[in-house]
């Protein structure tokens, strides 16, 4: 799809900082917005904000990424099948805990891969049947190569990236477009307190603008700050016998 | 830990900063028990919004909650920027009733500092257009303080020291266009500038750029800029179909800290002379877009970096009506003689205002920047003394270095403010480096 974006736009994981920024950018284009999160009552102020700023229609919906059985019902229950659906669902946890506690690790894997993949899958099938739509998955550069510092989260994101790639391939001739977003570091609740190099850290507003542009231009895979394309190309190119001794 | 300072980038410190996204986040931060202070967009010049404990970054609470087009009342969270309010509501015909010289301030910060604009002589400060504020007190309880209540009148101008401002309702002003009818009057000296202000008390907006470099007979020569919101009829026919549209400006950014020597008495002197001549050459009426009129410096991103690594300090005082003329002469004489006059010197007439702790009062306010170094800090002590001799007081949103004794001598409201802080339990809980320095 290219050209002017149409709503409604569904935002999954709508309480996150990136989700808030993305919702604003689409609402600024005049799109109605469907905000979905585990606790939709926490989104009341965001609904008021979108209505006050942009005069669009906003609905709130409960969705639990981990409750896969509920996903078909969730999508069927939306007031309208969205034109654009964005998954901003994600959970990083503490790598040390994720490495030590397999129950914890399984939750991270499910929250970042199984849950978002299931929701995107249900939406993909409905959009395929309609013959139009755009799916946007917020994945992560952490999925490009497993690193000691966050491989549990990273491997789940790797799975999600591959899933999005497969969906894109499957739906390329069916009128449904799939965008994979690899944001790099973003100043959000998830990264608060981490010591990150300022030049590599995007603001959530940059992610919002990048996602909107990618949807409008029909881009496939985007990094938010272009420097990340280079960084990840280098990280992917390192031979394993070198890479395994690094601490990136 | 983050390196944190005010807009002047003077004496940064390592600080703990926590982003607030909801009322619940603020409650959690307060429940930890240590000292906190709310920070908006960091446009206070000094240490008003840096806490020795945890600095609460309120920009995550930036939601507009309701707008009533019948009354112009906007309800919003404290972290929303005036720039966002303007972007959203100017196209619908509304503008902030009071705005400071930058639109990149938060609603909460504007209330806490009771910021003023070019219309203070007619309309008063920002607080005059606030219907209520919701404040989280030291016990985590949220109170909606209506205008006129005790908590409200301490909070407006209270520098965040009564509690954390969470939300507020403000009244906007109806405007027909995004344009200002501006009239510039060049004056040969300070007395004439004051005469122009006194003769223009009914102009909706007035402000002067004042030359604080030139000595002698033209001491304090000024460009007094008067303004009013343009009506549709003031616009050329071609603009009437889109009265809120103004030309888009390219936003420049200062990419790095300039070396400290970039601003010296010769470059600043040359700038002042050129600026004055430019204004004096084409005085009279003009139609100006809202952003160039109210926010000329907003066009230059990170302009604070031109002062270099050591940062800068700003001096702003207000002198009462009866002593203003004498006091301003003394201040400008001393500044010009020091050779440290800055190129951002502003003179403004204030109208009457009677408040618990806010800065404005009837008289004249003078504001100017100095690059931070020993010489300018010494000069500011002299300016403090002259201000005290003329019964003036100081703007805490600009202050980064005033000694406690100077504040106490300038402001007989300090004791009552301290007593309020002790009685409400705010003392020790809502603490900035500034409130520690000034013993508030």
Give the CATH number for residue A154.
3.40.50.720
Does A30 contact chain B (CB < 8 Å)?
A: no
Restricting to A residues 206-225, those with a Cβ less than 8 Å away from any Cβ of B are none
Looking up residue B150, the CATH number of its domain turns out to be 3.30.465.10
Answer yes or no: is pLDDT of B261 > 60.
no
Using pLDDT thresholds of 50, 70 and 90, give the confidence band for residue B258.
low
- Residue of A17, A45, A192 lying closest to B63 (CB–CB): A45
Tell me the shortest Cα–Cα distance from B63 to chain A, in angstroms.
5
Contact B77 A45 (CB under 8 A): yes
CB B82 within 8 A of CB B103: yes
Is the CB of residue B18 less than 8 Å away from at least one CB of chain A?
yes
The answer to whether the CB atoms of B65 and A45 lie below 8 A apart is yes
B20 pLDDT tier (thresholds 50, 70, 90): very high
Is a pLDDT exceeding 50 seen at residue A9?
A: yes
Query: Cβ B60–A42 below 8 Å, yes or no?
Result: no
Query: Quick one: pLDDT band at residue A43, thresholds 50, 70, 90?
Result: very high
Q: Does A45 touch chain B (CB under 8 A)?
A: yes
Q: Does A41 touch chain B (CB under 8 A)?
A: no
Same domain assignment for residues B125 and B159: yes
Angle subtended by helix axes A102-109 and A151-171, to nearest 10: 30
Contacts with A48 from chain B: Cβ below 8 Å: 63-66
**Are residue B289 and residue B373 in the same domain, yes or no?**
yes
Name the band, by pLDDT with cuts 50, 70 and 90, for residue A195. Answer: confident
Is the minimum CB–CB distance between B22 and chain A shorter than 8 Å?
A: yes
Average pLDDT over residues B15-23: 96
- Both B328 and B353 in one domain: the answer is yes
The partner residue sitting opposite B66, judged by closest CB among A17, A48, A54, is A48
Would B384 be classed as within a structural domain?
yes
| Counted domains in chain A | 1
Distance, in Å, from the CA atom of B132 to the CA atom of B75, rounded to the nearest integer, reads: 9
Distance CA A17, CA A240 (A): 35
The residues of A carrying an active-site annotation are: 153
Residue B9 is assigned to a structural domain of this protein: no
CB atoms B19 and A53 under 8 Å: no
Test B63 with A42 for CB contact under 8 angstroms.
Answer: no
Domain-located, residue B427: no
Radius of gyration from C-alpha coordinates of chain A? 17
Cβ within 8 Å, pair A189-B64? no
The per-residue pLDDT for B263 is: 61
**Same domain, yes or no: B189 and B276:** yes
Claim to verify: residue B163 and residue B186 sit in the same structural domain: no
Locate B91 and state its tokens.
Answer: 């196209």
Per-residue pLDDT at A1: 45
Query: Higher pLDDT residue, B60 or A1?
Result: B60
- Residues of chain A contacting B19 with CB distance shorter than 8 Å: 189, 192
Please tell me the distance from the alpha carbon of residue B148 to that of residue A207, in angstroms, as a whole number.
Answer: 43
More confident residue, B270 or B393: B393
In this complex, is the C-beta atom of B67 within 8 Å of any C-beta atom belonging to chain A?
Answer: yes
Residues B22, A53: C-beta atoms closer than 8 Å: no
| Interchain pair A52, B66: CB under 8 A | yes
pLDDT at site A198: 83
Based on the domain organization, do B208 and B117 belong to the same domain?
Answer: no
Helix count and strand count (H, E) for chain B: 13, 20
Question: Are B70 and B205 in a shared domain?
Answer: no
Is A154 among the domain residues? yes
Q: Do A53 and B88 touch (CB under 8 A)?
A: yes
| Contacts for B3 with CB less than 8 Å, ≥ 6 apart | B12, B13, B14, B15
User: Which residues form the domain of A110?
Assistant: 9-243
- B63: nearest CA partner in chain A: A49
The reply to whether A48 touches chain B by the CB within 8 Å rule is yes
Residue B385 domain-assigned?
Answer: yes
B167 and B214 both lie in a single domain: no
- Please report the pLDDT score of residue A3 as a whole number: 61
Instruction: Judge whether residue B282 has pLDDT over 80.
Output: no
B221 plus B158 within the same structural domain: no
B63 and A192: CB-CB below 8 Å?
no
DSSP codes joined into one string, B119-140? THHHH--GGGGEEEEEEE-TTS
Instruction: Say how far residue B254 (Cα) sits from the centre of its chain.
Output: 21
- The maximal CA–CA distance of chain A, rounded, in angstroms, is 56
Per-residue model confidence (pLDDT) at position B264 = 64
In this complex, the residue of B60, B64, B77 whose CB is nearest that of residue A53 is B64
Residue B434 covered by a domain:
no
Pull the structure tokens for residue A143: 């999925």
**B15 within a domain of the structure (yes/no):** no
Q: Which domain holds residue B146?
A: 59-176
What's the mean pLDDT when you consider all of chain B?
93
CATH of the domain at B298: 3.30.70.2520
Q: Looking at the structure, do residues B222 and B355 belong to the same domain, yes or no?
A: yes
B2 in contact with A at a CB cutoff of 8 Å? no
Give percent of chain B with pLDDT exceeding 70.
93
Select from B18, B63, B69 the residue whose CB has the most chain A CBs within 10 Å, as the one to mutate to test that interface.
B63
Q: Which of A17, A52, A189 sits opposite B65 (nearest CB)?
A: A52
> Is A203 within the bounds of a domain?
yes
Distance CA B55, CA B160 (A): 11
Is B173 touching A (CB cutoff 8 A)? no
Q: A172-190: per-residue pLDDT in tens? A: 999 999 999 999 999 888 8
- For B68, which residue in chain A has the nearest alpha carbon? A52
Chain B hits for A199, Cβ within 8 Å: none
Largest CA distance in chain B: 61
Looking at the fold, whether B82 and B220 belong to one and the same domain comes out as: no
User: In chain B, whose CA is at the least distance from the CA of A195?
Assistant: B1
Q: How many domains does chain B have?
A: 2
Q: Which is nearest to A191 in space by CA: A142, A232, A233, A158?
A: A142
Answer yes or no: is A2 within a domain. no
Residue B292 in domain = yes
Residue B259 has pLDDT above 70, yes or no: no
Strands A133-138 and A176-182: parallel
Percent of chain A with pLDDT over 70: 99
Which residues in chain B are closer than 8 Å to A52, comparing Cβ atoms? Answer: 64-67, 74, 88
Residues B221 and B162 in one domain: no
A192 interfaces chain B, CB cutoff of 8 Å? yes
- Supply φ then ψ for residue B318, to 5 degrees: -125, 135
* Mutation choice for A interface testing from B4, B18, B20, B21 by most A CBs within 10 A: B21
pLDDT digit string, tens, across residues A85-123: 999 999 998 999 999 999 999 999 999 999 999 999 999
**Is some CB atom of chain A closer than 8 A to the CB atom of B140?**
no
**In which band, very low, low, confident or very high, does the pLDDT at B301 lie, cut at 50, 70 and 90?**
confident
A52 near B CB under 8 A: yes
Mean pLDDT, chain A, rounded, equals 94
Instruction: Tell me whether residue B275 is in a domain.
Output: yes
């Amino acid at each position: 799809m290219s050209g002017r974006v149409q709503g409604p736009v569904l935002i999954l994981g709508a309480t996150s900082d990136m989700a808030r920024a993305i919702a604003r950018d689409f609402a600024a284009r005049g799109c109605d917005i469907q905000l979905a999160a585990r606790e939709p009552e926490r989104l009341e102020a965001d609904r008021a904000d979108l209505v006050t700023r942009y005069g669009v229609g906003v609905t709130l919906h409960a969705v639990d990424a981990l409750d896969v059985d509920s996903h078909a019902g969730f999508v069927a229950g939306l007031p309208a099948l969205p034109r654009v659906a964005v998954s901003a669902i994600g959970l990083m946890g503490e790598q040390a805990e994720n490495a030590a506690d397999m129950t914890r690790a399984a939750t991270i894997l499910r929250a970042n891969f199984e849950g978002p993949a299931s929701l995107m899958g249900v939406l993909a099938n409905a959009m395929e049947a309609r013959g139009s739509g755009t799916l946007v998955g917020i994945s992560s550069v952490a999925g490009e190569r497993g690193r000691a510092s966050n491989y549990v989260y990273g491997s789940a994101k790797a799975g999600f990236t591959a899933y999005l790639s497969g969906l894109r391939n499957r739906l390329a001739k069916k009128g449904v477009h799939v965008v994979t977003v690899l944001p790099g570091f973003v100043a959000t609740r998830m990264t608060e307190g981490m010591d990150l190099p300022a030049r590599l850290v995007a603001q959530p507003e940059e992610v919002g603008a990048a996602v909107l542009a990618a949807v409008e231009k029909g881009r496939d895979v985007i990094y938010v700050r272009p420097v990340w394309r280079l960084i990840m190309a280098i990280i992917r190119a390192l031979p394993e016998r070198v890479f395994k001794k690094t601490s990136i | 830990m983050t390196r944190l300072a005010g807009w002047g980038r003077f004496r940064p410190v390592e600080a703990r900063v926590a982003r607030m996204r909801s009322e619940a986040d603020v409650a959690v931060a307060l429940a930890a028990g240590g000292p906190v202070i709310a920070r908006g967009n960091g446009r206070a010049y000094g240490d008003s919004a840096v806490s020795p404990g945890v600095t609460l970054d309120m920009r995550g609470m930036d939601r507009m909650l309701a707008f009533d087009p019948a009354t112009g009342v906007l309800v919003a969270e404290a972290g929303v920027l005036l720039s966002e309010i303007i972007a959203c509501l100017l196209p619908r015909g509304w503008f902030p009733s009071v705005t400071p010289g930058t639109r990149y301030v938060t609603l909460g910060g504007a209330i806490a500092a009771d910021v003023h604009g070019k219309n203070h002589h007619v309309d008063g400060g920002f607080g005059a257009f606030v219907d209520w504020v919701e404040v989280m007190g030291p016990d985590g309880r949220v109170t909606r303080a209506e205008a006129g209540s005790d908590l409200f009148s301490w909070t407006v101008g209270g520098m965040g020291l009564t509690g954390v401002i969470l939300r507020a309702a403000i009244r906007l002003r109806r405007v027909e266009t995004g344009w200002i009818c501006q009239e510039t009057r060049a004056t040969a000296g300070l007395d004439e500038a004051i005469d122009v202000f006194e003769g223009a008390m009914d102009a909706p907006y007035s402000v002067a750029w004042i030359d604080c470099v030139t000595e002698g007979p033209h001491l304090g020569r000024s460009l007094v800029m008067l303004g009013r919101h343009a009506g549709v009829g003031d616009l050329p026919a071609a603009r009437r179909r889109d009265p809120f549209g103004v030309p888009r400006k390219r936003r420049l950014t200062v990419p790095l800290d300039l070396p400290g020597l970039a601003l010296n008495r010769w470059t600043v002197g040359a700038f002042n002379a050129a600026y004055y001549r430019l204004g004096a050459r084409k005085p009279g009426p003009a139609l100006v877009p809202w952003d160039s009129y109210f926010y000329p410096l907003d066009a230059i991103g990170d302009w604070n970096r031109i002062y270099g690594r050591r940062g800068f300090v700003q001096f702003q005082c207000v002198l009462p009506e009866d002593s203003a003329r004498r006091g301003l002469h003394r201040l400008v004489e001393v500044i010009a003689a020091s050779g440290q006059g800055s190129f951002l010197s502003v003179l403004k007439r204030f109208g009457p205002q009677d408040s618990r702790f806010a800065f404005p009062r009837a008289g004249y306010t003078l504001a100017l920047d100095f690059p931070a170094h020993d010489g300018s800090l010494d000069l500011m002590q002299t300016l403090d003394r002259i201000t005290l001799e003329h019964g003036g007081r100081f703007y805490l949103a600009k202050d980064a270095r005033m000694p406690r004794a100077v504040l106490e001598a300038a402001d007989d409201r300090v004791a009552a403010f301290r007593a309020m802080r002790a009685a409400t339990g705010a003392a020790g809980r809502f603490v900035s480096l500034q409130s520690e320095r000034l013993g508030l």
